[in-house]
A and B are shown apart, each in its own frame.
Chain A
Amino acid sequence: SQQGEEDPQALSIQEGENATMNCSYKTSINNLQWYRQNSGRGLVHLILIRSNEREKHSGRLRVTLDTSKKSSSLLITASRAADTASYFCATASGSARQLTFGSGTQLTVLP
């Protein structure tokens, strides 16, 4: 079953604009992670935010986590054509810290 649901399902923006993707989940978590997947490739880890953290930055990425609303957002600033990919949130929960993925947001950055 999918733990997280991303919103929107698809997003198209111009190069240089910011892109925001949202993730909602259902159960309590240990941490939440964001991954990127280019077409036909494996997933690449972007950033991890622990359940006791509210915001985290990494380069052009900013992640927020609101555990009371069971939601997270990923902001990519000053987007580039190379950022075109699918983005997935994944929650780590359960006794074995199972990593459960959402349905993803397809981001297209137009040059």
Chain B
Amino acid sequence: EAGVAQSPRYKIIEKRQSVAFWCNPISGHATLYWYQQILGQGPKLLIQFQNNGVVDDSQLPKDRFSAERLKGVDSTLKIQPAKLEDSAVYLCASSPATGGTEAFFGQGTRLTVV
């Protein structure tokens, strides 16, 4: 079975620019998560989707971050405008059913804001 696919793997942008990350979860997985992982820290949940609905976005900086999940499958996470402190690895994960079950992670996108 194919895993969670993310692209791009690496991205370098200047501050105030915009950037988008793409995630294709495992086929049939209902729950999709986006996490931000700053170097040396644990992943921080940004947003959780159940099918194409948002169930938790309490830690998403909504003034600059946005996310959508198209038709309950693929998802994109956008940052506009980026700040230096947004430099991190952005991880996408999916779970087969409701949240709280085993999550399968993609390789992540490493973002560097200069």
Contacts of B93 in A (CB 8 A): 42-43, 99
* Alpha-carbon distance between A106 and B102 when the two chains are bound, in angstroms: 22
With A43-B105, A48-B102 as contacts: A96 and B48 at CB distance below 8 Å:
yes
Question: Is there contact, CB below 8 Å, between A101 and B103?
Answer: no
A residues contacting the other copy or chain, number (CB 8 A): 28
Question: Is there contact, CB below 8 Å, between B103 and A102?
Answer: no
The list of the 10 closest CB pairs from A to B, nearest first, reads A97-B100, A92-B100, A42-B105, A97-B99, A96-B55, A101-B42, A43-B105, A101-B43, A45-B102, A103-B42
* Alpha-carbon distance between A90 and B56 when the two chains are bound, in angstroms: 16
Question: Is there contact, CB below 8 Å, between B102 and A100?
Answer: no
Among A35, A42, A45, A88: residue with most chain B CB under 10 A: A42
Chain A 79-111 residues near chain B, CB threshold 8 A: 88, 90, 92-104
With A41-B107, A43-B105, A96-B55 as contacts: A102 and B42 at CB distance below 8 Å:
yes
